[in-house]
Amino acid sequence: MTPLVRAEPVRILTVTVVLAALAAVLLGALQPVHLPADRPLSPLVGVGVAAVLAAIAQLAGLRFRLGPDAVSVSWAEAAVVAGFVIAPAGWLPAATMVGIGAAWLLLAWLTGLRNIVEIVHLVASMTLGVSAAALVTTLLAGNAGVRSGHMALALVAGAVTYLLITFGLVVLTLTLQRGARPGPVAAKVLYAKLPMSVGNVLVGLLAVFALVREPLWLLAFGPALWVLHRTYRFHLRAAEERRLWEAFAAATATLPGTTEADVARAGLLGALHVFGARRAELEVRSPAGRRRYAQDGPGEDVSVVKAGPAVTRSMAIAGRPLGELTVWLGEPTLPVSRDEAAITAYGEALAGALHDAAAHQRIAELDAQAAHQRVHDPLTGLLNRPALAQEGDALLRSSDRARPVALLLLDLVGFREVNSTLGNGGGDEVLRLVAERLGGQARAGELVARTGDDEFALLMPSVTALADSAAPAKPNPMPQVLRRARELVEQLRLPMTVAGVRLAVEVTVGAVVDRAGHVEMTELLRRASLATGKAKEQGLTVATYDSGQDASSTDRLALLAELQDAFAVDDQIMLHLQPAVDLVTGVPTGVEALVRWRHPRRGQLSPGEFLPAVERSELLIPFTRRVLDLALASAADWTASGIDVPVSVNVSARSLTDPTFPTQVTEALRRHRTPASRLVLEITESVAVSEQEIVDEVLARLRAGGVQVSLDDFGTGFSSLSSVTRMPVDEIKIDRSFVDEMIDSAAAGAVVRGAVELGARLGVRVVAEGIETIEQRAALIALGCPSAQGYHFCKPMPADKIVQALAQLAESSPATVTQLRADGAS
């Protein structure tokens, strides 16, 4: 209910009480003016004395705070009792109105109380109470003498009637003014008025007794009444102090809040309750500016309230001003020092609560900022990669499992050049513009994210599948996805101006499509990344995910880890051995060790499938050690069988640039107790010409230790002749490409003839690789080539079969050599 609405019933009550009081005064004045003979004063003197007593009772009364209002507790009941004895009952209302009115006019002048309507209401209420008390007393007393017990009871009844009338009017008035429940208001008023009212009745009866029996006893009433007055004042003040600090504790307990507005609202309501204030205002100061909050007491008119007394206290924390608290008190005689101290303490508590709320708010802002940063890219404001995975998974789970979804992964081409040319600031601006364009192209429900330095992603949770002419019954969503990818590329290609430079951005896009219920976001991102890599490798703008490519990629990724597992067992890394024979006699002249990997999942792998990765990794040394151990162990087996031929092992380019490699070889020979001359290390021409100084030093140390060196794939490089002249070797192996073509190609035949003649002049062995037919063997014999290896003689075989094969070759004559089927290996 608004203050204006509440004021209307109060005005009606005031008018009603005033009219009733005036009517009572007029009716009383019409009564006969006479007193019984036993009364101590004449009627006129009695009326005057009654008026004076009524005034004194008010001037000596007490006022205490009840919420925002002040309730008067006076000696009115004593004045009523004494007045009925000394003045005619009919004139007692008029005497009361005059006396009380004069007293309150004096109080208004002394205290500055300017609310005349309130004074009129108060005077009329007391006059009406006196009128009712006089009527009850007259009816009950009848013609009883003033000294009789019957008269005493009538006087008590009249005083109680006065108390009930005034008590009821006070409760009714406060209830209407504040919109409060009458029960709590009545309890507070009764607590304050009842003890003094009982005392008033007793004082009045004793005053009547003294006046009638011995007027001199009235002189003792002054000190006694002063003591009673002081005692009751102390009682009310103690009660008010207790109420004040209990309310203070309750109010400050409600102050803590998480927002400034909550604390301000609780603080203002608490101030109204604690101090019985009519209005409270709060001004909060912060770096963000000033904010004002205000709260009026129930039924208060702001224009009237602000005319009253106010206490303003500054609030600060650790010397830093936080604002001001202003409280408009309910009494014109206030504030007193107690109120000012309490308001100061309350302001300090409120300042602490506001400071805590500001800290809570700042923490909440930081939490919100951190939460935003956890899921957003700080540069572009787009989702980051983890957030895309999380929100994308939620989106996929909420979609129809059979619905096709697509992910486009966009990679900026040549972004490093942008950074190096325009600086990091220019590069950041390009990324922001790309993000802005990409976000502008996103449709409802799609997710856009920055997933890498120059990489962005667009998740399409719903893709329209078009009928495929090749398979009409199976709609294909990929054409729509590719169309969308090209649209994005065209938009991102549009020129932009950054740091005064007009440039265009090229984009590579990887696209992947799957059904929502069959894939997770991390898998979509992985597949899209493969598609993007494919686009870069093939120079495409847009490429799609290929499951075949995926398999090879995952195999390559797992290869090194699986190779380490292979080193831990004895049955995965193995050698296949192929003999080299004398072309004329067929007697073995050497054995080449060809490494194989019996993969537990992929089957047998050829060297080309894993050696490049090994040579680029730190596994090269343990891998070389394993191959040397296997080769030398096999050589030891056939040596023990009386076959005296060396074993050839292919050497990596990195091994020959490792100064510790000769030591590794020496240690391997020592472990297997094999002479160094039984080991041939095959190198390629590319190795021979790389890092010549280190390679020459390593090879020189190997040859000085007795290890033989073979130049493999002779004739395929650009420096074959310079290799054999610069670097001494023990063997030359003619590449099989020349052997394959030497019958039909004169040029190839010339290369083979030249290699054979070069070997003869240098005094080194010459071995032709890849002999598969008897015609090739005959041609090589005609050219003077001494040795060869290939499927024509023997295919590569496991180590446990090589000894028997070598023995058979040693025992065979040229006429009995059997041709074997060639299957593409040498």
Any idea which residues carry the catalytic annotation? 769
Say how far apart CA 727 and CA 392 lie, in whole Å.
62
Place of tokens 């003619």: 734
In 693-729, which positions are buried (b, 16+ CB within 10 angstroms) versus exposed (e)? eebeebbebbbeeebbbbbbbbbbbeebeebbeebeb
What number of CA atoms fall less than 13 Å from residue 346's CA on the CB side? Answer: 37
Tell me how far the alpha carbon of residue 484 is from its chain's centroid.
Answer: 34
DSSP 383: B
Say how far apart CA 151 and CA 109 lie, in whole Å.
39
- Cα–Cα distances in angstroms (integers) from residue 532 to residues 163, 462, 526, 549, in the given order: 96, 21, 10, 12
Peptide bond into 335 cis (omega under 30): yes
Is 35 within 8 Å of 64 (Cβ atoms)?
no
Residue partners of 751: CB distance under 8 A and separation at least 6: 715, 734, 738, 742
- Cα–Cα distances in angstroms (integers) from residue 709 to residues 647, 680, 704, 731, 758, in the given order: 11, 5, 11, 7, 16
What number of CA atoms fall less than 13 Å from residue 342's CA on the CB side? Answer: 28
Say how far apart CA 718 and CA 714 lie, in whole Å.
10
> Among 573, 688, 684, which residue's Cα sits nearest to residue 631?
573
The DSSP code sequence of 324-376 is: EEEEE-S-TT---HHHHHHHHHHHHHHHHHHHHHHHHHHHHHHHHHHHHHHHB
Is 719 within 8 Å of 713 (Cβ atoms)?
no
β-pair type (588-599, 573-582): antiparallel
Say how far apart CA 414 and CA 424 lie, in whole Å.
14
Residues paired with residue 797 on neighbouring β-strands, in sequence order = 577
What number of CA atoms fall less than 13 Å from residue 99's CA on the CB side? Answer: 29
Tell whether the torsion through CA atoms of 662, 663, 669 and 675 is positive or negative: positive
Helices 149-178 and 116-141 sit at what angle, rounded to 10 degrees? 150
DSSP 41: S
Which H or E run includes 148?
Answer: none
